[in-house]
A and B are shown apart, each in its own frame.
Chain A
Amino acid sequence: MTPHADTAARAASGPASAAAPGPSSAPGDTVVALEGITKRFGETVALDDASLTVARGEVVVLLGLSGSGKSTLLRHVDGLERPTSGTVRVLGREVTRLSGRALRELRSEVGFIFQQFELVPSLTVLENVLTGSLATVRGPRLGLWSYGRAAKVEALARLERVGLLDRAYQRADTLSGGQQQRVAIARALMQRPQVLLADEPVASLDPESSDQVMALIREIAADEGLTVICSLHQVDLALSWADRIVGLRHGQVVLDTETEGLSKAQVMEIYGRVATSTDQFEAIELELSAGGAGGAESGAGAAAGPAGAAPVAGDAVR
C-alpha cells in the first residue's frame, strides 16, 4: 500500500510532540502488516488468507457484517490470538514470535478499545484509567494508593482530555455508555500507544454518543499521530470517518480502497460487497452492470432501491 498523502500531511501538521515517539517513526512507514492470515476455531474459519498493510498515521476502517472476521483480525494485531498460518508484523516486530515480556511490551504500545468498554464496574473511573499503565509498572496493583503520583497525574490529564475529569472518583458503572467508552479511550491513551485498535467502539451506543466517541477518537488520533484500525458495520459512518476502507466477508478481504474521491457508484458497490447478504449482492451487481450502459449516475440511481435497505440488513444481523 502506498503511503496516503493526506494522512501523512495530517500527521505532520499535528503537534510536534506527537509526531516522533519512536526511532522508526517517519510518517508513512508500515506499522501493521498482516500477511496471509488464516485462523481456524475448530471447524469454523474465522480468517481466510487475509492480508492487510497499514501505514503510520492512517485511519483504516474494517467493514463487514458480524462474523466476517473483523474482531479476530484486530485481536491478531494485539497478539490476543495466534494465527493458524501467516505472519503478523506490528511496529517492526513479528507478533507470532513474541511471548512473555516482549509480547506485553508490544501490547502496551497498541491500545485496544472494546465494544462493551470492558471497564471494571466496581472501581472508580480513575482506577480504571490507571490500569492502562500496568505494563509500565511492576507487580500487582489494587487500589488508588498503589499507583504513584506521576501515574495519577497522567491519568487525570487523560481524563481531562476525554472531558471526564470531574468524574474521576465515581464508580465506573455510574456513567452512561458513551462516558464509559470515553473512559476506555483514556485508559488506552494511558498506554501511550502508537497504534489504536477499536473493535466496534460505538455498536453499543446511541447515535448521539456514537458521534461524540467517533469524533473523539479521530481527534485524538490526529493530535497524537496515532495509527487507527477500527471495525464498524455501518457503511455510512465508515465513509465519513476513514481514510481507507477494508471490507471483510467470510474472513476474506474483499475490498481495500481509499475513501477520497469515491463516486456514488463505487459507494453502492461497497454496500453491495460488505453490507448485504450474498443474494442481495448479486442483485446489486446485476443492476450495476445493467445500468452501466446508461452511465455511472443512472446506474447508481437504479441500485439505490435495494442498496437503501443494506444498512438496515446489517443492523438486523448484529
Chain B
Amino acid sequence: MSVVAERPRTTGAPLAPAAAPPRRRVSPERVAAGLTLLGLLVASLLALRSVDIDPARMLQSWSNAERFLGRVGAIEFPPLGELLQLTALTLGLVICGTLLAAVLSVPVAVLAASNTTPGPAWRAAARFVTVLARAVPDVVLAMVFVLLFTLGTLPGILAIGLHSVGMISKLFADAIEQIDEGPRTAVRAAGGTRLQQFTAGVLPQVLPSWVATVLHRNDINLRGSVILGYVGVVGLGMQMSFAFKSLQYGLGLGYALVIFVLCVVMEIVSSSVRAAMLGIAPTGRGLGDRVVRRATRRRGARGQEAAAPETAGSAAGSTRASGAAVGEPTRASGAAAGEPTRASGVPSARVEAALRRPWDRARRRSVTWGWAAVAVVVASVLVCDIAWSDLLTVWGGVPAVAVQFWPPSFGSYEASTMIAAMGETISIALAATLLTVGGSLLVGSLAARNVAPSPGVRSGMRLLLVGIRGVPEVILAIVLIVVTGLGTQAGTLALALGGVGLLGKLIADSFEEVAPGPERALTATGASRTQVYASATLPQGTRALIGHTFYMLDTNLRAATLLGIVGAGGVGYYLLNASQGSNYATVTAIVLMILVTVLAVEGLAIWMRRVFR
C-alpha cells in the first residue's frame, strides 16, 4: 500500500524539471549553413514561379500533345542496315572515349590519392585536373574538337575521354584512399619498391572498383552521346538531331526509341559484366542490376556449391583434397620437410604437377571475360576507323583555333542578356531540384522497406524509380519540347522527372539504412506509422538527404546548361548558337560563366556536407 502512495505520478502534481536545461550551443558556421539552406529554398520557390510551371498550362499542353501525336503519325525507323551501322558507330565511339578516360585516369588518380601521391603539390595539381575535367561539359569539348578535326570520330572520342577523366579519376582516387594498407605494408616489408607496392599491394584491391566505375561511366557516356550529336559528333544522336531539325518527328522519335533501348541494353550488359567478371553482387540502382539480379538468383545457389570445393585437380593426390579446413599442416609434407626448399633442387612431382594451373571455373571465367573484353575493345577501335594521323597534323591548326576562342567576349549579345540566360539556367536547376526533392521524398519513402505500408507498395515504387531511370534525360527533354514547345518548362520537367529516378532511389536506400532501434522503440511506445516515420526515420535520414540533394543540384546545374542545346531553355541555347555562328569568343565567355557557377555550387556542396556531417 505504502508503495503505491509513494509513486509520484499518483499525486497529480505536474512533473517539472528543477532547473532549465542548458541551451544547446550552435556554432556560427552551422547557423550560416542553415541560413544558406533557407536562402536556397526561397530561391528555388521563386525559381519555380519563374519557370512557368502551372497546372492550367500543363493541361492546355496536353491538348498540344494530342495534336502533336496526330501530326507525328507513325514512328519511323531508318533502314535496318543503316541503323545497325549507326548503332555500332555510336557504341564504338562511346567505348573508345570511355577507354581513353580509363587509361588517363590511372596516373591522375594515383597522383590525387593521399596515400600514393609523391607530394602535396602533385596532389593539388591532380585534384585540380579532376575538378576542371568534370566542370567543362563534354559538349563544349566536342565543339572545340569538331572545329579542329572537322570529320570522323576523333572529336567525340576525345570529348568523352577528356571529360570522363574527371569522374573516373575522382572515384578511383577515393577507392585508392580507402584500401587496406596491410598488404601494401607487407610488400614494403618484403623489400618491394614503391612501384611494386602499388602494383602488388594496391592495384589488386582497387581494380574491381575501377572496372565498375569505368562501366558505369560508359553507361553515362552513351546517354550523353545523344547531345553530342547536336554539335556535330557522328552517330545516332546526330541523325536524330537532323530528323528533328527537318521536322521529321516520326523518324526523330524512332531514333530516340532506338537510343533508349540501347541505353537499357547497355546497362544490363555492364551490370552483368560487373557481376560475372568481378564477382560483385549487382546491388546497384539501375535497371540492368535488377534484371541481372533476377536472372542470377536461381543460379546463385548452384554456383556457390560448385565453386567451393574446387581445388587444384592435378594435386588431388593430396590427402586433403576434400578441402576440409581443419588440416594437420605441419606434418602433412613430412617428406618435404627435410628437402631443401631453397629451390636449388629439382621440384617435387607434386609441385611440378601444380605448375599447370587447372582449368577450373574461376580460370575459365576470367579467361573468357578477358578475351571478350579484348574483342570489344578491338572491335570498337576498328568501328571508329580513327584517323590516327590527325593526332599529329592537328597541332598545326591549334594556334589558329585558339586565337578564335580568346579573348572571351559576348560579341553581338548584351552582357545583361547572357547573365539573364545564365540566371534562367540556374532557375531551371533550382526549380527542378525542388520538384525532385518533393517527388523523391514521397516516392523514395514509400520505396523504403521500413516505411512502405506493404511490400507491394514498395516493389511498385521501386519499379517506378527504375523505369524513370531508364530514360535518358535528354530524350525526355526532347519529347517534352515536342509536346509543350520550346522553353524552360520542358527543361525543368525533364530534369525534375529524371531526378526523381535517382534521388528517390538514394533516399529509399538511406532510409533503409537508418538504425532500426529508434523505430522499434517508438513503435513499442504505441506511436503510429506516420509518427514513427516523422520522429525516427526522417530525422536519422536528414543528413543523407541534404548530401544527396546537393549532389542533385550539382548534377542538375550541369545538365541544365546542356539542355538548352536541344531547346529547353537557358544559356545552352546561346552556347549552341554561338558555336554554330562561329562566334567562338562568345563560346569561351559562356563556358567561363558555366565554370564559375558549377565550381561555386560544388564548393557550396562540399561545405554543406562538412558542416552537416
Is the CB–CB distance between A78 and B183 below 8 Å? no
Is the CB–CB distance between A142 and B318 below 8 Å? no
Q: Is residue A237 within 8 Å, beta carbon to beta carbon, of the partner chain?
A: no
Min CB distance B309 to A, Å, is 10
* 342-360 of chain B: CB within 8 A of chain A: 342-343, 347-348, 350-352, 354-355, 357-358, 360
Is the CB–CB distance between B182 and A165 below 8 Å? no
Which of B46-54, B214-222, B333-341, B551-559 has 4 or more CB atoms under 8 Å from chain A? B333-341
Q: Is residue B527 within 8 Å, beta carbon to beta carbon, of the partner chain?
A: no
Contact of B330 among A121, A135, A140, A215 (CB under 8 A): A215
Alpha-carbon separation in the docked complex, A212 to B204 (Å): 29
Q: Is residue A191 within 8 Å, beta carbon to beta carbon, of the partner chain?
A: yes
Contacts of B350 in A (CB 8 A): 160, 165
Contacts of A123 in B (CB 8 A): 204
Contact of A192 among B183, B185, B193, B342 (CB under 8 A): B342
Is the CB–CB distance between A104 and B186 below 8 Å? no
Question: Which residue, B188, B193, B205, B343, has most C-beta atoms of chain A within 10 A?
Answer: B343
Which of A36-44, A49-57, A146-154, A271-279 has 4 or more CB atoms under 8 Å from chain B? A146-154
Contact of B341 among A161, A178, A182, A188 (CB under 8 A): A161
Which of A108-116, A253-261, A296-304 has 4 or more CB atoms under 8 Å from chain B? A108-116
Q: Is residue B59 within 8 Å, beta carbon to beta carbon, of the partner chain?
A: no
Is the CB–CB distance between B330 and A131 below 8 Å? no
Contacts of B347 in A (CB 8 A): 153, 156-157
Is the CB–CB distance between A160 and B351 below 8 Å? yes
Contact of A122 among B204, B337, B341 (CB under 8 A): B204
* 187-203 of chain B: CB within 8 A of chain A: 187-193, 195-196, 198-201, 203
Contacts of B207 in A (CB 8 A): 122
Alpha-carbon separation in the docked complex, A140 to B195 (Å): 6
Is the CB–CB distance between B188 and A120 below 8 Å? no
Contacts of A139 in B (CB 8 A): 195-196
Min CB distance B441 to A, Å, is 39
Contact of B188 among A80, A106, A144 (CB under 8 A): A80
Min CB distance A173 to B, Å, is 10
Interface of A is mostly: helix
Is the CB–CB distance between B348 and A157 below 8 Å? yes
Question: Which residue, A123, A163, A191, A224, has most C-beta atoms of chain B within 10 A?
Answer: A163
Contacts of A140 in B (CB 8 A): 195-196, 198-200
Q: Is residue A176 within 8 Å, beta carbon to beta carbon, of the partner chain?
A: yes
Q: A118-B182, A164-B329 are in contact. Are A104 and B192 (CB under 8 A)?
A: yes
* 123-169 of chain A: CB within 8 A of chain B: 123, 131-132, 134-135, 139-142, 144, 149-150, 152-154, 156-169
The 8 A CB mask of A173-205 against B (1 = contact, 0 = none) is 011101100101001111110000000000000
* 315-335 of chain B: CB within 8 A of chain A: 315-316, 318, 320-321, 323, 325-330, 332-333
Alpha-carbon separation in the docked complex, A148 to B200 (Å): 16
A101 to chain B: closest residue by CB = B193
Is the CB–CB distance between A142 and B200 below 8 Å? yes
Min CB distance A269 to B, Å, is 32
Is the CB–CB distance between B190 and A179 below 8 Å? no
B357 to chain A: closest residue by CB = A169
Min CB distance A59 to B, Å, is 16
Contact of A167 among B208, B312, B332 (CB under 8 A): B312
Contacts of A104 in B (CB 8 A): 191-193
Contact of B185 among A106, A118, A135, A188 (CB under 8 A): A118
Q: A17-B340, A141-B199, A162-B329 are in contact. Are A187 and B190 (CB under 8 A)?
A: yes
Q: Is residue B362 within 8 Å, beta carbon to beta carbon, of the partner chain?
A: yes
Is the CB–CB distance between A134 and B196 below 8 Å? yes
A152 to chain B: closest residue by CB = B355
Question: Which residue, B192, B203, B326, has most C-beta atoms of chain A within 10 A?
Answer: B192
Min CB distance B451 to A, Å, is 35
Contacts of A224 in B (CB 8 A): 341
Q: Is residue A119 within 8 Å, beta carbon to beta carbon, of the partner chain?
A: yes
Alpha-carbon separation in the docked complex, A132 to B191 (Å): 8
Is the CB–CB distance between B343 and A154 below 8 Å? yes
Question: Which residue, B325, B327, B329, has most C-beta atoms of chain A within 10 A?
Answer: B329
Contact of B354 among A156, A175, A215 (CB under 8 A): A156
Q: Is residue A239 within 8 Å, beta carbon to beta carbon, of the partner chain?
A: no
Question: Which residue, A117, A159, A160, A191, has most C-beta atoms of chain B within 10 A?
Answer: A160
Contact of A219 among B320, B337, B343 (CB under 8 A): B337
Is the CB–CB distance between B318 and A135 below 8 Å? no
Is the CB–CB distance between A105 and B191 below 8 Å? yes
Is the CB–CB distance between A112 and B190 below 8 Å? yes
Contacts of A114 in B (CB 8 A): 182, 185-186
* 283-317 of chain B: CB within 8 A of chain A: 308, 311-312, 315-316
Min CB distance A271 to B, Å, is 29
Is the CB–CB distance between A134 and B192 below 8 Å? yes
Is the CB–CB distance between A150 and B190 below 8 Å? no
A176 to chain B: closest residue by CB = B325
Q: Is residue A12 within 8 Å, beta carbon to beta carbon, of the partner chain?
A: no
Q: Is residue A48 within 8 Å, beta carbon to beta carbon, of the partner chain?
A: no
B203 to chain A: closest residue by CB = A142
Q: Is residue B30 within 8 Å, beta carbon to beta carbon, of the partner chain?
A: no
Contacts of B199 in A (CB 8 A): 140-142
Contacts of B193 in A (CB 8 A): 104, 134
Min CB distance A107 to B, Å, is 4
Q: Is residue A45 within 8 Å, beta carbon to beta carbon, of the partner chain?
A: no
Q: Is residue A308 within 8 Å, beta carbon to beta carbon, of the partner chain?
A: no
Q: Is residue B363 within 8 Å, beta carbon to beta carbon, of the partner chain?
A: yes
Contacts of A84 in B (CB 8 A): none
Is the CB–CB distance between B336 and A160 below 8 Å? yes
Q: Is residue A15 within 8 Å, beta carbon to beta carbon, of the partner chain?
A: yes
Q: A118-B183, A142-B200 are in contact. Are A166 and B315 (CB under 8 A)?
A: yes
Contact of A131 among B187, B312, B340, B355 (CB under 8 A): B187
Q: Is residue A8 within 8 Å, beta carbon to beta carbon, of the partner chain?
A: no
Alpha-carbon separation in the docked complex, A163 to B319 (Å): 10
Min CB distance A24 to B, Å, is 18
Contacts of A176 in B (CB 8 A): 325
Contact of A141 among B191, B200, B327, B360 (CB under 8 A): B200
Q: Is residue A99 within 8 Å, beta carbon to beta carbon, of the partner chain?
A: no
B333 to chain A: closest residue by CB = A160
B325 to chain A: closest residue by CB = A176
A174 to chain B: closest residue by CB = B308
Q: Is residue A170 within 8 Å, beta carbon to beta carbon, of the partner chain?
A: yes
Alpha-carbon separation in the docked complex, A141 to B199 (Å): 6
Alpha-carbon separation in the docked complex, A134 to B190 (Å): 7
Contacts of A179 in B (CB 8 A): 325, 327
Min CB distance B212 to A, Å, is 13
Contact of A169 among B189, B208, B329, B363 (CB under 8 A): B363
* 50-85 of chain A: CB within 8 A of chain B: 78, 80
Is the CB–CB distance between A120 and B311 below 8 Å? no
Is the CB–CB distance between B348 and A160 below 8 Å? yes
Is the CB–CB distance between A135 and B341 below 8 Å? no
Question: Which residue, B312, B326, B354, has most C-beta atoms of chain A within 10 A?
Answer: B354
Q: A78-B189, A112-B189 are in contact. Are A150 and B343 (CB under 8 A)?
A: yes
Is the CB–CB distance between B355 and A223 below 8 Å? no
Alpha-carbon separation in the docked complex, A250 to B566 (Å): 70
Q: Is residue A4 within 8 Å, beta carbon to beta carbon, of the partner chain?
A: no
Alpha-carbon separation in the docked complex, A62 to B362 (Å): 42
Q: Is residue A89 within 8 Å, beta carbon to beta carbon, of the partner chain?
A: no
Is the CB–CB distance between A149 and B187 below 8 Å? no
Question: Which residue, A118, A144, A190, A191, has most C-beta atoms of chain B within 10 A?
Answer: A118
4 new A-B contacts, CB < 8 A, other than A122-B204, A161-B333, are: A107-B189, A150-B343, A156-B351, A157-B336
- Chosen A-B contacts, 8 in total, with CB atoms closer than 8 Å, are A17-B340, A105-B191, A111-B190, A114-B185, A142-B204, A169-B357, A212-B328, A212-B330
Per CB-CB distance, the 6 closest pairs between chain A and chain B, nearest first, are A135-B191, A163-B329, A108-B191, A118-B182, A154-B343, A140-B199
User: Which residues of A are in contact with B by a Cβ distance under 8 Å?
Assistant: 15, 17, 78, 80, 104-108, 110-112, 114, 116-123, 131-132, 134-135, 139-142, 144, 149-150, 152-154, 156-171, 174-176, 178-179, 182, 184, 187-192, 208, 212, 215-216, 219, 223-224
